[in-house]
Amino acid sequence: MSYRLIALDLDGTLLNAAAQVPQVHKAAVRQAMAQGLEIIIVTGRSWGEMELFYRDLGLTTPAITLLGAQVVDGHGHLIWEQRMDPAAAAAVANAADAGGWALSAVFDSGVAHATRRPHDFTHWEQWNPFTHISGSLAPRVAVQSPLFIAAYGKQACDACLAEFPAGLPATQWDLHAPQPDDMALFYWHREVDKGRALAAFCAGRGIQAAEVVALGDSTGDLAMLRWAGTGVAMAVAPPHVQAECALVTAADDPHPVATALQRLGILSAVPGI
């Protein structure tokens, strides 16, 4: 197989458990670029949250951020975006005011506001490094619809699901609950996902799906992994994600991205493996 582009998720894929890029992964990315392959980061993080990794890897390509809701160039300048349906965003913001929920909204890279800090979500600082506690989100949402909204903590998530059991107009949602005491409910536009954004990016460069290998670890990566000619799932990926991929990495591999690229014949040898 002849590949032209490698699409990489960050958290749980290129980054290790300490949220760092292992040296072996850095070497693999740089070797792939030296061989003429394009590397694109496709992440749920905003540009501000991923820029240090981007610079450290020496990338120059655009980046797909916020689960595909924004595409930015190598300077963080906006190329394309898809914001939430204004009516849907307003409905959630008003309901949060009425119920006193912990709700946050991302309006741009590095620009996020929350009603309050949740008392029942333990990773607030890690997940919200740029979020300002600003009280009601309704006035801000009325001026500009956010890229996505998140309810944090079991109390907020349960209340939000009860308030909108049939969903919201032009909106999709995902409940992230790695532990019973750590729940986050995300809402974003129905037409936004990593796969659509990656397909549009590749179409602009004349790159076919068969020429793309994508690597990810979660349900949020599934559309991208399905679209790419070759999908690679990390060992921590849910079974339904692994089932969609041509390759699944080993659970005890400290540098799964580099190993996968070797197994696919993209890289001949990576220092440290």
What does the pLDDT look like over 194-220, one tens digit per residue? 999 999 999 999 999 999 999 999 989
What are the pLDDT tens digits along the chain (273 aa)? 699 999 999 999 999 988 899 999 999 999 999 999 999 999 998 898 899 999 999 999 999 999 999 999 999 999 999 999 999 999 999 999 999 999 999 999 889 999 999 999 988 887 888 899 999 999 999 999 999 999 999 999 999 999 999 889 999 998 887 676 789 999 999 999 999 999 999 999 999 999 999 999 998 999 999 999 999 999 999 999 999 999 999 999 999 999 999 999 999 877 777
Q: What is the pLDDT of residue 178?
A: 67
Separation in Å, CA 111 to CA 4, 114, 140: 34, 11, 12
- Residue 53 DSSP SS3: helix
Q: Which two tokens stand for residue 220?
A: 């949020």
Q: What is the pLDDT of residue 128?
A: 85
Q: Which of 160, 76, 86, 89 is nearest to 118 (CA)?
A: 160
Q: What is the pLDDT of residue 1?
A: 63
Q: What is the pLDDT of residue 268?
A: 86
Contact 5, 38 (CB under 8 A): yes
Taking the model in full, what pTM does it have? 0.88
